[in-house]
Amino acid sequence: MPQYQIGYSPRLSGEVHVSTAKNAVLPILAAALLTQEEIILHQVPQLTDVRHMLGILRSCGAEVSEENADVRIRGVSVGSPKENALLRTMRASVLILGPLVARTGACVLSMPGGCAIGQRPIDLHLKGLQKLGAKVEQEGGTVQVSGALKGANIYLDFPSVGATENLIMAAVLAKGVTRIENAAKEPEITDLCHFLTAMGGRIAGAGTANIIIEGVESLHGAEYTPIPDRIEAGTLACAAALTEGSVLLEGARTDHMRALLFKLSESGVICQEDVRGLRLRGKARHPMEARTLSYPGFPTDMQAPLMVVATQTHGLSVFLETIFENRYMHVVELKRLGAHIRVEGQLALIQGGRTLNGAHVTATDLRAAAALMLAGLIAQGQTTVSDPAGHLMRGYESLEDKLTVLGAEAKKLEDRINVSKKPANDGEFMAAN
Ligand code: EPZ
């Protein structure tokens, strides 16, 4: 079981490279199923979720090879995944649905379960596929989608990131034109559309609420480097804002981080765009208000890391989580370190200015794990973060090493027992991703 030890590290400085984005790489990997030609991806991050998605592609019949951070995928003949165990390891596995139905006319998947942060249904994905002419049958935890897809007008009741991605990947080979209204506008969706366009897809409106896809006969291979990870960069920016440091996040795209940077600037951190990325100086001092929203609003994935910053500001901060129904599990663990936080439904009231004291805490989901690592930086003494489900490695490429590069005392304790790499079995909650 991975454990991380973080020592009091009041001053971070230096520069660290930002990895490519987990939430861009996962849909782009799924999109590789749309062509029988070779796809080459560069700077693919070493993450558990990426490794699982590569396993799922292999299980669908694609040839996958890795060389350092380059990944080559070739799906000459593909079909529904042979084994479902991997599908249950992460929710993003649902992203192979659109590509497989578009490419082969059918897909059978085990329904992704709920996870720590919420129920996370896929009704919007399935409703959109039905609008495109697919037949959807659900039986005993399995969903079967089949049929020849035809362009359609789709309205998403909620700008779901995954549903937008799945439906774009389905529409790109459908007969005719598809319009998706109230689409999600996250940068990872724009990146997916850039990748699909590089494959010969015809897409307009990427990054807006109205995306138009003109179906084509087939897609060809492509070579691509995904965008940097705005959530990893945001997490490191929060680490800088907790300590009186001067930090350069090399490769960060500040245009993807506006909401967070406004919060940190309002709180007293100097955030400067630099030709090489994002430079941060100074400490967060003033309390803040944050309401999580779809992009370009404040990202729900940054709620837990920013809450740690709020615990150190002078006054009362107010957070409202509007995207997921159960995304405050990090609060109990932060209170174990001495934070003064009160949760009332989707509202969290954080009384700042409290000294945190090192303790043994447990990660409950991916972003909670990152938040606890940050809290250890400013807690007196040593903090041990236990991560029994290996959440942190799903979404961060050695966060402990990146914090160490910036001068923190952070290390991963060797697994005391050999944790089986087996994916979560049916009864267990799937980790959030
Ligand atoms: C993506 O999840 C991200 N994951 C999440 O990142 C991120 O938190 C989320 O978008 C919101 O930005 C990946 O990209 C792999 P949604 P996704 O569909 O696509 C409801 C992380 O930490 N909903 O936009 O699953 C859903 O229940 C992870 O990196 C439906 O009701 O998010 C949720 O309340 C966590 N029906 C809300 O919409 C549906 O059919 C947002 O979900 C789909 C979603």
Q: What's the 3-state SS for 243-294?
A: CCCEEEEECCCHHHCHHHHHHHHHCCCEEEEECCEEEEECCCCCCCEEEECC
What's the pLDDT score for residue 433? 44
267 forms beta bridges with none
Is the C-beta atom of 166 inside 6 A of ligand 1? no
Is the C-beta atom of 125 inside 6 A of ligand 1? yes
Give the integer Cα–Cα distance in Å for 60 and 78.
5
Ligand 1 atom nearest the C-alpha of 188 is: 14
- Residue 40's contacts (CB-CB under 8 Å, 6 or more residues apart) are 70, 71, 72, 221, 222, 223, 224
What's the pLDDT score for residue 167? 98
Give the integer Cα–Cα distance in Å for 433 and 421.
17
Ligand 1 atom nearest the C-alpha of 395 is: 29
What's the pLDDT score for residue 416? 56
Contact 50, 26 (CB under 8 A): yes
Name the residue with the closest Cα to ligand 1, atom 17: 162
Catalytic residues: 115
Name the residue with the closest Cα to ligand 1, atom 29: 433
Ligand 1 atom nearest the C-alpha of 165 is: 19
Distance 121 CA to ligand 1 centre (A): 9
Kindly report the pTM of this predicted structure. 0.95
Contact 221, 199 (CB under 8 A): yes
Is the C-beta atom of 369 inside 6 A of ligand 1? no
Contact 368, 333 (CB under 8 A): yes
- Edge-to-edge strand list for the sheet holding 246-250: 13-17, 246-250, 277-281, 270-274
Ligand 1 atom nearest the C-alpha of 127 is: 40
Give the integer Cα–Cα distance in Å for 249 and 233.
7
Q: What is the pLDDT along the chain (433 residues), one digit of tens a residue?
A: 899 999 999 899 999 999 999 999 999 999 999 999 999 999 999 999 999 999 999 999 999 999 999 999 999 999 999 887 778 778 899 999 999 999 999 999 988 766 788 888 999 999 999 999 999 999 888 999 999 999 999 999 999 999 999 999 999 999 999 999 999 999 999 999 999 999 999 999 999 999 999 999 999 999 999 999 999 999 999 999 999 889 999 999 999 999 999 999 999 999 999 999 999 999 999 999 999 999 999 999 999 999 999 999 999 999 999 999 999 999 999 999 999 999 999 999 999 999 999 999 999 999 999 999 999 999 999 999 999 999 999 999 999 999 999 999 999 997 655 444 444 443 333 444 4
153 forms beta bridges with 179
Is the C-beta atom of 112 inside 6 A of ligand 1? no
Ligand 1 atom nearest the C-alpha of 433 is: 28
Give the integer Cα–Cα distance in Å for 416 and 393.
17
Is the C-beta atom of 324 inside 6 A of ligand 1? yes
Distance 10 CA to ligand 1 centre (A): 34
Contact 400, 1 (CB under 8 A): no
Distance 253 CA to ligand 1 centre (A): 22
What's the pLDDT score for residue 245? 81
**Residue 192 falls in which region: left (phi positive, over 0), alpha (psi -120 to 50) or beta:** alpha
Is the C-beta atom of 187 inside 6 A of ligand 1? no
- The answer, yes or no, to whether the previous bond of 296 is cis (omega within 30 of 0) is yes
Name the residue with the closest Cα to ligand 1, atom 6: 433
What's the pLDDT score for residue 415? 67
Is the C-beta atom of 367 inside 6 A of ligand 1? yes
Give the integer Cα–Cα distance in Å for 153 and 159.
15
Name the residue with the closest Cα to ligand 1, atom 37: 323
Contact 385, 403 (CB under 8 A): no
Contact 147, 101 (CB under 8 A): yes
Per-residue tokens: 218: 């087939």
Residues 158-191: b if buried by 16+ CB within 10 A, e if exposed: ebbbbbbbbbbbbbbbbeeebbbebbbbbbbbbb
Q: Which amino acid is at 200?
A: G
Contact 32, 39 (CB under 8 A): yes
Name the residue with the closest Cα to ligand 1, atom 10: 161
Give the integer Cα–Cα distance in Å for 213 and 176.
8
How many CB atoms neighbour CB 335 within 10 A? 16
Is the C-beta atom of 160 inside 6 A of ligand 1? yes
